[in-house]
Amino acid sequence: MSTVNSFALWGTLAGIGVAVPIIIHLLHQRHRRRTDWAAMELLRKALVIRSGQVKLEDLLILLLRCLVLALAAFAMLRPFLDSDSSIIPGEKKAGMVVAIDASYSMSHGKHAQRFDRAKEKALQILKNANVGDPTTVVLLGQKPRILLRGVGYEETRFNEVINGASTLPEAMNLDRCLDEVAELVAELKAPLKECYLVTDGQAVDWENLSQDARASLDSVDGEATIFVAPIADEGSENLSVMNFQYASGSLVPSGTIRFEAEVRNHGAQIQDGTTAVLQVDGQDVSRQSVGPIRAGESKVVAFYTSFDGGGDAKVRVELSADSLNQDNARQTVVHVRDRIRVLCAHGEGPSGSKPSEIFYLVRALELKKSQESTSLDVVRADWQDLDTEDFNDYDVILLANVPTIGVDLAQRLDRFVRKGGGLGIYGGDKLDLDSYNAQLYGEEVSLLPGELRGMAEFEGSGLEENQDEASWTIGPIQSDHVLAKLAASIPEEGRNAAKIRKVLQVKPDASADTLLTLSRKGLPLLLEKRVGAGTVLLVTTTADRDWGNLCVHPFFPMMAQQSITHFTSRPGERTYTVGVPGEVSFTGLQADASVTLAEPESDPRGVSLSVRDDGGVFCSVDTEVPGFYEVQPEGQSSSALAVNILPSEADVKVLPSDALGSALGKPEWVVPLDANLEQLIKQSREGLDISRTLLILALVVFLLQGFLARLFTSRMSGDDATDVTESLRKQTLAAARRTT
C-alpha cells in the first residue's frame, strides 16, 4: 500500500488530531468546578454503582473519537492499495494529464489538420476518465498553456474546452513543456496517474531529445504511466519562408533596398510554381516566381524596392498557399530616414599635397551623382573645432585620426551615443592611445569596443615582391552582422585585394562584437559596441591610404554607406520572434505620455510606458501572434515591430511510431496508431483508492460515538428528573392516605 499525500504532513496532523480529544479530556478533568454537598453518602453509593461503568464508557467514547480522527487523517493520506485483489472496497481513481501538441506544425494538412486529429484523440482518452477524477489539459508550444488544471472531470466542460482549442503560432519547446508537464503530473492528487502526450511526433522535436527533456520524462515516468499518442499525418510536404530580412541599401528616400527571403522545401518532392509576394505597408509591391526547389533545399529570393518618404516601413513577404500556411509569411520593419547628417572630424591639421585623411571617406559617403547622396549631409571639421560643434545637429560622427580626446569631448560623445547617435572611429598615426583609453574606455565613459594596446604592423617574410604583398587581407568572416555579410558578399578574390599593413591593436571588450578580422593573426579590423541607444564602430586601420589600400577598395564605400544606414536605422533590430517580449524606445517622451498600441488581429488600445534605469522611456510589447505591432505616441510618428514565428517548426516530417519509441528509449510508451487505446488504458490501471472507504468508516464511527455518548448521558435528561420527583410526591401522598 502506498499513499498519495505526504505521510509526514498528514501523519503529523493525524497525531495532533488524535491528541486533541485526549487533551480536551484532560483539560476537562482539570477545569472542574466545586460545590458544597450535603448528600455525600447518596453520591458515594451512586459512584460505587456507576464509577466502573462510567470509566468504561469514557474510555470507549475517547477511543472512538480518536479513531474518527485517525481514520479521517488516514483518508487524507489517500492510501492506495497496489493490488485489486484486496477484499477492502475501493475505487479505481486516476489523475490524468493530457498534453496536446499545439505547435504550428499541427496545423499541417490540406484535408484535416493534425490538430483536429489530436483533439479527437484527446477526447477519446478522456472518455476513460471517471467523473471527478483530477484532470489537467495543457497545450504544448514554446511554453505550455494550461487549459484546465487538476479539475474534476466533467465530460461537457472538457469537451467544450478541447474543442475550442487552437494551435499556437509557436514552435515546440519540448524542454520547457515537458518540465512543466512533470510538475503538473507531480501536483496531481490521485493514486493512479496517467500522462498522455498527444503529438504529431515531429522529427525536429522528438528525434534528438535533450538531457533535460529526458530527465523530465523520467520524472513523469516515476509518478505516472506515460502514453505517447502520435496522430496520423498527410505527409510532410511544406514550403516555408525561413528567413526574410533587409540585405543592403541606404535606408533613405529613393534609396534602393534589397530584401532577401529564404524559401525552403521541407518535403520529399520537388516544389515548383510557388510565388512570393513582397508587401510594403500592406500593399503588394513585387511578385516573383520562386521557381523549382528540390526536396530539402533552400532558395533565396531577392526583392528590390525603394521608399518615398521617411518613417517605419512594414515589409512582408508571403508565399502562395500550401499544406501549412502559418510558415508562409515573414515580416520585417526598416526605418527610413528623411535626412542623415554626418560630421567627419579629422586630425590632419593643415592639408598638404596628398589627399585629406577623410577625402576617401567623404567621397564614399557622398557618392556623386547618386540620388541617395542627396539625403546625406556630410560636414567636415578639424578635430580642434569639435568644441564649437553642436552634436545634436548630427546623426553620425566620424573621427578619423583625431589625436586626443578631452574630458569634455568624451562626455559629449557619450551623451550623443547614448541618445542614439552613431560614432565611427578610424585609426591613424596621430592617435594618443593613452588619451583614448583614458577618456573613452574608463568607468564613467566607455565608448571604445576595447582597450587600445598599441600599433601592429605586418611583419612579412621579406620575400614579398611588392608592398601590397607585405600586408594583411580581410580574414575569414564569421559574424552574421550586416557589415560582415556585406564583406562576405564580395568574392574572396576581390576581398583579398584589400591590403592592410598596419592596425591598432585592440583587446575587445566583453560587450563588443568583432565583425571583421585580419588574415593570419586574426587581429580585429572592425568592431562594434552598443552604448545606450547608439552604436560605436571602431575601424582599426586608417580612412586614408597611410596603412593600406582599404579606402580605395570597393568594399570601403559599401561599408561606409552601410554603416551609416546601420547607425541610423538598424534594420532588423525591431524584428522579434513570437513569445519574445518586444520593446520600442522613445526619446523626448514623458513616461506618462499617451500611447496607442495596435496589435495584429485586435483593435488599437492605450498602453502605458516604462522607464529604464538610465531614464529612457520605452513601450513593452507582448508578442503573442506574428505580424506587425505599431506603437503610436500622441503627436509623434509611429514605431513598428515585426514579429515572426520560429522557422524551425516548419519542417513537418514526423517520426513513425517505432522510430518515436526508439527516440524516446521507451517503445512501450508509444501507442501505435492502430492500437486500441481504451483497452491499453484499462489494462494499465491497477490498484484501489480506499480513501473514500476510510472516510465512510470515519463517518460511521463518528455517528456511533455520537449515539453512544447520547445514550450514556441520556439519564440526565429533564424528563427523568421530573419523573423521580413526581413519583416521590405520589408515593408520599399515597402513604399519607394509607396512614389515615
Binding site for another protein (CB under 8 A): 28-29, 31-47, 49-51, 54, 57-58, 712-713, 715-716, 718, 720-721, 724-725, 727-729, 731-733, 735-740
Pairwise CA distance, residues 259 & 285, whole Å: 12
Least gap, CB of 44 to another protein (angstroms) = 7
Would strands 688-689 and 639-644 be described as parallel, antiparallel, or unpaired?
unpaired
Q: How far is the CB of 706 from another protein (least distance, A)?
A: 16
- What are the cell numbers at 462? 621579406
Contact residues for 406 (Cβ-Cβ < 8 A; gap 6+): 439
Nearest to 428 by CA among 518, 497, 529, 345: 345
Comparing CB distances to another protein, the nearer of 300 and 721 is: 721
Single-letter code of the amino acid located at 480: D
Q: Minimum CB separation from another protein for residue 53, in Å?
A: 8
CB of residue 730 to another protein, shortest distance in Å: 11
Cβ-in-10-Å burial (0-12, 13-18, 19+) of 38 comes to exposed
Q: For the CB of residue 733, give the shortest distance to another protein in the complex, in Å.
A: 8
Rounded CA gap, 57 and 41, in Å?
A: 24
- Nearer to another protein by Cβ, of 30 and 369: the residue is 30
Among 571, 535, 559, CA closest to 486: 559
Of 38 and 463, the one with the shorter C-beta distance to another protein is 38
- Nearest one of 287, 211, 206 to 660, comparing CA atoms: 206
C-beta of residue 641 within 8 angstroms of C-beta of residue 628: yes
Report H helices in 243-358: none
> What is the nearest approach in angstroms of another protein to the Cβ of residue 720?
7
CA–CA gap between residue 588 and residue 398 (Å, rounded): 24
CB distance 541 to 534 below 8 Å: no
Please name which of 288, 305, 298, 301 lies closest in space to residue 260, comparing C-alpha atoms.
Answer: 301
102 three-state secondary structure: coil
Q: Print the SS3 string covering 292-319.
A: CECCCCEEEEEEEEECCCCEEEEEEEEE
- Rank residues 58 and 668 by Cβ distance to another protein and give the closer one: 58
Closest separation in Å from C-beta 55 to another protein: 10
Q: What distance, in Å, lies between the first and last C-alpha atoms of the chain?
A: 80
Task: Give the residue with the Cβ less far from another protein, 295 or 728.
Answer: 728
Q: What CA–CA distance (Å, rounded) separates 76 from 185?
A: 19
Task: Tell the smallest beta-carbon distance from residue 63 to another protein (Å).
Answer: 17
The label of the residue with cell 541599401 reads: 249
Distance, CA of 545 to chain centre: 49
- Please give the grid coordinates belonging to residue 511: 560587450
The answer to whether residues 398 and 344 touch, using CB atoms and an 8 Å cutoff, is yes
The alpha carbon dihedral of 586, 591, 595, 598 has a sign of positive
Q: Which of 236, 244, 239 is nearest to 279 (CA)?
A: 244
Minimum Å gap between C-beta 28 and another protein is: 6
Find out whether 199 and 125 touch, Cβ atoms under 8 Å.
no
Tell me the closest approach of the beta carbon of residue 64 to another protein, in angstroms: 16
Closer CB to another protein, residue 22 or residue 700?
Answer: 22
Our CB check for another protein shows the closer of 591 and 721 to be 721
Angstrom distance (rounded) from CA 174 to CA 157:
27
Shortest distance in whole angstroms from residue 52 CB to another protein:
11
**Beta carbon of residue 30, minimum distance to another protein (angstroms, whole number):** 9
**Cβ distance to another protein smaller for residue 208 or 740:** 740
* Closest to another protein by CB, 463 or 735: 735
Cell 489530436, located at residue = 118
Burial degree of 432 (CB within 10 A; 0-12, 13-18, 19+): middle
Distance CA(572)–CA(315), nearest Å, equals 11
Q: How far is the CB of 682 from another protein (least distance, A)?
A: 56
Judged by CB, which is closer to another protein: 9, or 56?
56
* Cβ 56 to another protein shortest distance, Å: 11
CB of 629 within 8 A of CB of 641? yes
Cβ-based nearer residue to another protein, 215 or 709: 709
Residue 21 beta carbon to another protein: minimum distance, rounded to whole angstroms? 15
- Of 469 and 720, which has the nearer Cβ to another protein? 720
Query: Shortest approach of another protein to residue 717 CB, angstroms?
Result: 9
Nearer to another protein, 47 or 232 (CB): 47
Q: Supply φ then ψ for residue 689, to 5 degrees.
A: -95, 115
The total number of residues shown for the chain amounts to 740
Q: Would you say 39 or 463 has its CB closer to another protein?
A: 39
CA nearest neighbour of 249 among 302, 175, 205, 202: 302
Taking the least distance from each CB to another protein, the nearer of 35 and 85 is: 35
> Comparing C-alpha atoms, which of 100, 204, 102, 207 is closest to residue 651?
204
Angle, CA of 134, 136 and 139, to the nearest 5°: 175
Closest distance to another protein from the beta carbon of 70 (Å): 25
Position of cell 567621397?
363
Nearer to another protein, 32 or 368 (CB): 32
The C-alpha cell at 373 is 547622396
C-beta closer to another protein: residue 9 or 733: 733
